[in-house]
Amino acid sequence: MNRLIAFIIPFAIFAAAPLAQAQDHEISDLDSRPTVMGPSDYFTGTAIIEPLFDPRGPTRAGAAKVMFAPGARSAWHSHPRGQRLVITSGHGWVQRRNAERRAVEAGDVVWTPEGVVHWHGATTSHSMSHIAIQEERDSSVVNWRDKVTDEEYQPE
């Protein structure tokens, strides 16, 4: 009998507990997020940006898929709460200011801490795509700086 009670009590407690309010999924259809070209003030070469989601509601995170043609890159920039890049295809480079350029490829994940000035983009011979995820602070997710020069991009 004790075994039966020990078995039934957890189910009775669960049944007596109020069920969590069901919430609907929110679906952001593709047509509500038009693709844009990366502005020439912030990108060199062809960069195509597909917005995924903006910071709103209980989350501060926003994300976009960015596709870089060979030779394309971002300007120097930083993020007030850091940035995570998930490299989804191709071959590219990332670089912190005053540090060595690093090669990245599909499957790599890059973390750049808050306030670190950096750039990222494709190599000279391959395209590269990534999903960029960053959180906002004071309504900003990025602080743009000067453009990466050709000498900085390809120092050899």
Q: How confident is the model over 42-93, as pLDDT tens digits?
A: 999 999 999 999 887 777 899 999 999 999 999 999 999 999 999 999 999 9
| pLDDT the model gives residue 156 | 65
| pLDDT, the chain, mean | 87
| pLDDT the model gives residue 155 | 77
More confident residue, 95 or 138: 95
Report if residue 139 sits inside a domain.
Answer: yes
Whether 15 has a pLDDT exceeding 80, the answer reads no
Report if residue 16 sits inside a domain.
Answer: no
User: Binning pLDDT at 50, 70 and 90, where does residue 31 land?
Assistant: confident
User: Binning pLDDT at 50, 70 and 90, where does residue 22 land?
Assistant: low
User: Binning pLDDT at 50, 70 and 90, where does residue 33 land?
Assistant: confident
Rounded to two decimals, the pTM is 0.81
Report if residue 13 sits inside a domain.
Answer: no
Whether 36 has a pLDDT exceeding 50, the answer reads yes
Report if residue 145 sits inside a domain.
Answer: yes
> Encoding tokens for residue 1?
């009998």
Helix, strand, coil percentages in the chain from 3-state DSSP, rounded to 5: 15, 40, 45
Q: Which among 19, 32, 45 is positioned nearest to 119, based on CA atoms?
A: 45
Range of the domain at 91: 30-153
As a residue count, the chain comes to 156
Report if residue 11 sits inside a domain.
Answer: no
Distance of CA 10 to the CA centre of its chain: 42
Q: Domain of 132: which CATH number?
A: 2.60.120.10
| pLDDT the model gives residue 147 | 98
Report if residue 17 sits inside a domain.
Answer: no
Total number of domains in the chain: 1
User: Region 112-129: what's the mean pLDDT?
Assistant: 98
